[in-house]
Chains A and B, each alone.
Chain A
Amino acid sequence: MAVKTDDEMIEYVSILAKLELKGDEKERARRDMEKMLDYVDKLSELDTDGIDPLVQVIDTENVFREDMVTNSDDRDNILANAPEKEQGQFKVPKTFN
Chain B
Amino acid sequence: MSLMDLTAVELGKKIKEGSVGVREAVKDCLKQIRAKEAKTNAFITQADETGVLKRADEVQKAVDSGELTGPLAGVPFAVKDNMCTKGILTTCASKILSNFVPHYSATAVEKLEKAGAIIAGKTNMDEFAMGSTSETSYYGPVKNPWDTDRVPGGSSGGSAAAVAASEVSFALGSDTGGSIRQPAAYCGVTGFKPTYGTVSRYGLIAYASSLEQIGPVAKDVTDCAAVLEVISSYDSKDSTSFNRGVPDFISALDGDVKGLRIGIPKDYFTDDLDPEVNAAVLAAADRMKDMGALAEFFDLSLVEYAVPAYYIIASAEASSNLSRFDGVKYGYRAGDYEGLHQMYKRTRSEGFGEEVKRRIMLGSFALSSGYYDAYYLKALRTKALIKQAFDKAFEKYDVIIGPVAPVTAPKLGGSLSDPIKMYLGDIYTVAANLAGLPGISLPCGRDSNGLPIGLQIMGDCFNERSVLKAAFAFEQTRKQEKSPLACGKEAEV
Contact = CB atoms under 8 A, between A and B. Distances in A.
Interface string B33-71: 000000000000000000000000000000000000000
A92 B343 contact: yes
Contact of B348 (A19, A43, A46, A57): A19
B323 to A, nearest CB: 7
Interface in B61-119: 99-103
Interface string A18-44: 111110000001001101110111111
B380 A18 contact: no
Interface in B403-431: 419-420, 423
A64 to B, nearest CB: 10
Contacts of B102: 81
B382 interface: yes
Contact of A53 (B197, B346, B352, B384): B384
A48 interface: yes
B269 interface: no
Given A17-B360, A60-B242, A95 B340 contact: yes
A43 B378 contact: yes
B155 interface: no
B245 interface: no
Contact of A19 (B100, B349, B365): B349
A54 B337 CA distance: 41
Contact of A48 (B352, B371, B378): B378
Nearest to A28: B354
Contact of B345 (A10, A20, A54, A74): A20
B377 A3 contact: no
Contacts of B329: 78, 81-82, 90
B337 to A, nearest CB: 7
Contacts of A56: 210, 240
B311 interface: yes
Contacts of B368: 12-13, 16
B163 to A, nearest CB: 28
B13 interface: no
A80 B242 CA distance: 33
B304 A58 contact: no
Q: Is the interface of B mostly helix, strand, loop or mixed?
A: helix
A12 B370 CA distance: 13
Contact of B364 (A1, A13, A40, A77): A13
Contact of A58 (B196, B311, B349, B419): B196
* Tier of interface size on chain B: 35 or more
B381 A17 contact: no
Given A74-B103, A82-B328, A32 B240 contact: no
A86 B195 CA distance: 44
Contact of A1 (B309, B326, B374, B383): B374
Interface in B306-345: 308-309, 311-312, 319, 323, 326-333, 337-345
A53 B381 CA distance: 4
Given A36-B420, A48-B381, A80-B103, A19 B308 contact: no
B128 interface: no
Contact of B357 (A19, A36, A83): A19
A26 to B, nearest CB: 11
Nearest to B375: A40
Contacts of B420: 35-36, 39
B362 interface: yes
The 3 closest A-B pairs by CB, nearest first: A53-B380, A57-B436, A83-B333
Given A54-B381, A93-B343, 10 more contacts: A16-B368, A17-B357, A19-B348, A43-B378, A46-B305, A48-B378, A53-B384, A54-B384, A60-B242, A80-B101
15 contacts: A10-B361, A20-B348, A39-B423, A40-B375, A42-B305, A43-B312, A46-B302, A57-B196, A57-B435, A58-B242, A58-B461, A81-B329, A83-B328, A92-B328, A92-B343
